[in-house]
Amino acid sequence: MGFSYQNHILHAESVAIADLMKTYGSPLYVYSRTDIEYNWHLFSHAFGIHPHLVCYAVKANSNLAVLSVLAKIGSGFDVVSNGELERILLAGADASRCVFSGVAKTNIEIKRALEVGIFCFNVESMAEMIRIEQVAKEMSMQAPISLRVNPDVDAKTHPYISTGLKENKFGVDIDDAIPIYKMAYNSPYLKVKGIDCHIGSQLTKISPFLDALDKVLELVAKLGKLNIHVTHLDLGGGVGIKYDNEQTIDINAYISSILDKVGSLKIILEPGRAIVGNAGIFVTKVEFLKQNSDKSFAIIDGAMNDLLRPSFYQAYHQVLPIDENAEGIDAHWDLVGPICETGDFLAKNRRLSLSEGDYLALMSAGAYGSTMSSNYNSRPRVAEVMVLGSQYTLVRERETIQDLFNKEYMIND
């Protein structure tokens, strides 16, 4: 696949990582275009001729290169803000293959989405539905809507990425959905299209998805009795990837088990992580090695502001040397960044042979890596590169120091 050792040297497709580091400096995000396309096609092909739309969840990685590559192969998109909507339009996406999710859509976002003709709003509450209706009325339009229902199933994932329980802020309780659908059905400014649910992220089993689907199908039947006929089901994203040795979901089995249940209803999925997660790595340099009686620290030039997942979710990223034969001090290392926070680590207790100046790759960093990065500690955001075969392209420039304060003003009196 995209990242592999060739003669003990780590490559992105056919390009040695060391060459990229020489050209672009450290730290660096590297993406494999082949992997991104392959992962998207896995979803799309599994549907065969069943009506479907694979809407890549932009928040996983919103780099314009990633979006344009996906737009070219016909991907739909799931956006959660005006910023994401403008990104996909710039990247050449077809708005009519786009769904708009997100917990609190603003008037401006709703107006713009209607203007460009998105496929559907995934509505999060009665209040939001009334707002959408109002904006559509002002524009003399009909807004296509699905209601995001909360099926109250446990996705059995990290609590921060579990979204389908009653205690979560997302969507409306599935038992409260009917009056909201009735209101939408009776409004001349709303068009009922489907039902939406998204129960969490990094799921490693199919069963929670199918439990949620069963509940959604009960709602389809109840609505049908009221003569409210939905034409699609949006089952969200959440398919997990391999970070360590966890079991993962077989995409074909997952999609065929959905299709077994849904008759001829069109199915929308919103995979994010499963498209880009394993298609990207984060490469960082060992600055210093520091060992005391019971700890070995490798102080690296990458930090929690560049790759937040380890600090935020206790997430695991495999760490690989870019030269498998590199010799150094063999120990169990904690990889820690230069930021003034104890939580600033990218990996803990990893057996590696390290020397100062070595480059290390944090694998599976393509999703929720660069998009969650910040300027904390006034660190410029890192560069990003996309590889295809033996070709590579800079797809985001490294920020400069000047970029850090471009939009700030001093008080001068």
Ligand X SMILES: *Cc1c(COP(=O)(O)O)cnc(C)c1O
Which tokens is 320 given? 């690989």
Cα dihedral 165, 166, 167, 172 sign: positive
What's the min distance (Å) between Cβ of 328 and ligand X? 35
Residue numbers at the binding site for ligand X (CB under 6 A): 57, 59-60, 78, 101, 198, 201, 236-239, 270-274, 367
What's the min distance (Å) between Cβ of 326 and ligand X? 33
What's the min distance (Å) between Cβ of 14 and ligand X? 28
Do 196 and 146 meet the contact criterion of CB atoms below 8 Å apart?
Answer: yes
Do 363 and 318 meet the contact criterion of CB atoms below 8 Å apart?
Answer: yes
Angle value at C-alpha 107, between 104 and 113, nearest 5 degrees: 90
Cα separation, 123 vs 126, in Å, equals 8
161 or 283, CB closer to ligand X? 161
Sequence-ordered alpha helix ranges (H) in 30-157: 33-46, 64-72, 82-90, 107-116, 126-138
Active-site annotation holds for 340? yes
User: 194 among the known binding-site residues?
Assistant: no
Closest CA to 194 of 228, 135, 146: 146
For residue 57, give the amino acid letter.
Answer: A
144 or 272, CB closer to ligand X? 272
User: 27 among the known binding-site residues?
Assistant: no
75 or 187, CB closer to ligand X? 75
15 or 153, CB closer to ligand X? 153
Do 370 and 396 meet the contact criterion of CB atoms below 8 Å apart?
Answer: yes
Rg (CA), the chain: 23
Closest CA to 370 of 283, 308, 316, 295: 308
Which tokens is 223 given? 């609505």
Cα separation, 267 vs 52, in Å, equals 5
What's the min distance (Å) between Cβ of 197 and ligand X? 9
What's the min distance (Å) between Cβ of 238 and ligand X? 4
User: 272 among the known binding-site residues?
Assistant: yes
Cα separation, 35 vs 147, in Å, equals 33
User: 316 among the known binding-site residues?
Assistant: no
User: 324 among the known binding-site residues?
Assistant: no
322 or 362, CB closer to ligand X? 362
What's the min distance (Å) between Cβ of 102 and ligand X? 8
User: 160 among the known binding-site residues?
Assistant: no
273 or 285, CB closer to ligand X? 273
Do 55 and 146 meet the contact criterion of CB atoms below 8 Å apart?
Answer: no
Burial of 373 (0-12, 13-18, 19+ CB in 10 A): buried
User: 309 among the known binding-site residues?
Assistant: yes
Pick the catalytic residue from 55, 98, 120, 340.
340
* Catalytic site positions: 340
Would you list which residues are annotated within the binding site for pyridoxal 5'-phosphate? 238, 270-273, 368
Would you list which residues are annotated within the binding site? 238, 270-273, 309, 313, 341, 368
Would you list which residues are annotated within the binding site for substrate? 273, 309, 313, 341, 368
